Structure 1
C-alpha cells in the first residue's frame, strides 16, 4: 500500500530568523559597547574654541562627516 502524500505546511514566517534583524542586533550590541567604553570627556579644538564632549560623540560625529563627504565625492564621479 502506498503512503498518502503529506499535506504541505504553509510557513507563517514565525520560525524563520530574518538576517537583517540579526545584523541589526549585533550592530546595536556593538554600538552600546562602544558608547560604554568611550564615555570619557575629551577636548577638541575646532579652529579657535575648545569643545569638550564625550569621546564616543566625537568619534560618531567624525564618522558621520566622513560618510557625508564620501557620498558627496561619489556623486561627483558619476
Structure 2
C-alpha cells in the first residue's frame, strides 16, 4: 500500500487544457466583436425607439436565448 498521493494539479501540463484554450479563443473573439461593433444603432422595442451600441443590441437576444436554452435543457 502506497502512502504517496497525487495532488491532481497536473503541473505545467494541466495549465493549458483544450477546454481552457477554447474559452480563451472565445473570449478573444468576443472582445474583437465588441470593439468592432461599437457604433450606435436604433432598435425598436415594440413602440419606443432605443439607441444603443450594436453589440448590446445583439447581446440581449443572445442572453435571452442562452437562458431559454438552459431552462429547456434543465427541464428534461
Tell me the TM-score normalized by structure 1. 0.70
Cα root mean square deviation, aligned: 2.2
**Aligned equivalent of 1:49:** 48
Partners of 2:11 and 2:36 in 1: CA distance: 37
**Aligned equivalent of 1:31:** 30
Q: How many residues align?
A: 67
CA offsets 1:11-66 (integer angstroms, 9 cap, x no match): 95113422222111101110111001111111111111111110001101110111
The ranges of structure 1 where at least 4 consecutive aligned residues each deviate by more than 6 angstroms after the TM superposition are none
Partners of 1:27 and 1:63 in 2: CA distance: 15
Note the residue ranges of structure 1 that are not aligned, 5 or more in a row. 1-10
Partners of 1:44 and 1:29 in 2: CA distance: 27
Note the residue ranges of structure 2 that are not aligned, 5 or more in a row. 1-8
Deviates more, 1:36-45 or 1:16-25: 16-25
